[in-house]
Amino acid sequence: MTSLQKVVLGTPPAAVDGDTVRVANTKTNANVDVLNAQATLTSAAGITAPSALTAAHIGKRVNIALAAAGAVNMPPANSGSADSVVLVRNIGTTAVSLPAAVGAGDTVALSKLNPGEAALMDTDGVHAWTVVTRGRTNSDNEVVNGTLTTWGTAFLSGGLSVTGAAAFAARPTFNGNTPLDSGNAAITGAVMYFAMSAAPAGFLKANGALVSRTTYAALFAAIGTSYGAGDGSTSFGLPDLRGTFVRSWDDSKGVDSGRALGSAQAQNLPPHSHLIPIGWDGNNFWGNGGTPAYGDLIAQNGGPASGGSVIQNMAGLWNNQGTTNIRQAYSRTDANSITGELRPANVALLACIKF
Question: How do the domains of the chain map onto residue ranges?
Answer: 42-136, 184-268, 272-335
106 vs 343, higher pLDDT = 106
Question: Across the chain, which distance is largest between two alpha carbons, in Å?
Answer: 167
Q: What pLDDT shows up at residue 41? A: 79
Q: Which carries the bigger pLDDT value, residue 258 or residue 348? A: 348
CB atoms within 10 A of CB 148: 8
Can you give the pLDDT at residue 171? 77
- Per-residue pLDDT of 69-115, as tens digits, reads 999 999 999 998 898 999 999 999 999 999 999 999 999 999 999 99
Mean local confidence (pLDDT), 128-152:
82
d(CA 55, CA 72): 14
Predicted local distance difference test score (pLDDT) of residue 187: 86
Q: pLDDT tens, 55-70? A: 999 989 999 999 999 9
Kindly report the pTM of this predicted structure: 0.45
> 33-47, 141-155, 316-330: lowest mean pLDDT where?
316-330
* pLDDT for the residue numbered 339: 58
Query: Across the chain, what does the average pLDDT equal?
Result: 80
- How much of the chain, in percent, has pLDDT values that exceed 90? 47
- 184-268: which CATH number, 3.90.1340, 1.10.1060, 3.40.1350, 1.10.10? 3.90.1340
Pairwise pLDDT comparison (235 vs 293), residue with the higher score? 235
Task: Kindly state the percentage of the chain with pLDDT values over 70.
Answer: 77
Closest by CA position to 202, among listed 214, 186, 213: 186
Examine the pLDDT at 318 and tell me if it is beyond 60.
Answer: no
| Burial class (CB within 10 angstroms; exposed 0-12, middle 13-18, buried 19+) of 74 | buried
Q: What pLDDT is stored for residue 8 in this prediction?
A: 93
Residue partners of 306: CB distance under 8 A and separation at least 6: 300, 313
Q: Which residue has the higher pLDDT, 137 or 96?
A: 96
Identify the pLDDT of residue 221.
Answer: 95
Average pLDDT over residues 157-164: 79
- Strand 60-64 relative to strand 42-43: parallel, antiparallel, unpaired? parallel
CATH architecture of 42-136: Sandwich (2.60)
> What does the pLDDT read at residue 78?
95
Q: Is 121 left (phi over 0), alpha (psi -120 to 50) or beta?
A: beta
In this predicted model, what pLDDT tens digit does every residue of 239-283 receive, in sequence order? 999 988 888 888 888 888 888 888 888 877 777 666 555 544 444
The two domains 42-136 and 184-268 share their CATH topology (first three levels equal): no
pLDDT for res 218: 93
259 versus 350: the higher-pLDDT residue is 350
Burial (CB < 10 A; 0-12, 13-18, 19+), residue 21, is: exposed
Rounded to an integer, the average pLDDT of 187-201 is: 92
pLDDT of 287: 40
Structure confidence at residue 310 (pLDDT): 40
